[in-house]
Amino acid sequence: MTNRTLTRSNTQGKIGFLSDIRRMNVGMTRARRKLLLVGDSSTLCRHPFFGELLAYVKGVGGYRTAHEVVIEA
C-alpha cells in the first residue's frame, strides 16, 4: 500500500506545493495495489485536479470521511 498525506487545510483553499500536480502524479503512480490518500476534501476540491480526483474516487465508492473511518475502527 502506498500512503500519500495531503495535509493542507485552510479556509482560503490554498494547497501550496500540492498545486504542482507533477508531484502528485509521481506519488500516485508508484502505488502497485492500493493507494491511500488522506486530506481535507473541502480544501483540496477547490483545485481542479483534486476536485476531479475526488469526484472519481467518490464515483467508484472509494471515499470515506474521517468520521466513517473512526466508526469502522
Q: What is the pLDDT of residue 69?
A: 79
* pLDDT higher than 90, residue 63: yes
Cell (9 digits) for 62: 472509494
- Domain positions in the chain: 2-72
Q: What are phi and psi of 49, to 5 degrees?
A: -60, -50
8-39 confidence digits (pLDDT tens): 677 877 787 777 888 778 778 888 888 888 88
Tell me which residue has cell 490518500: 37
For residues 70 and 65, give the distance between their C-alpha atoms in angstroms, rounded to a whole number: 9
By the 8 A CB rule, do 18 and 8 touch? yes
How many beta carbons lie within 10 A of that of residue 24, not counting itself?
A: 19
pTM (two decimals): 0.74
Q: What is the pLDDT of residue 73?
A: 63
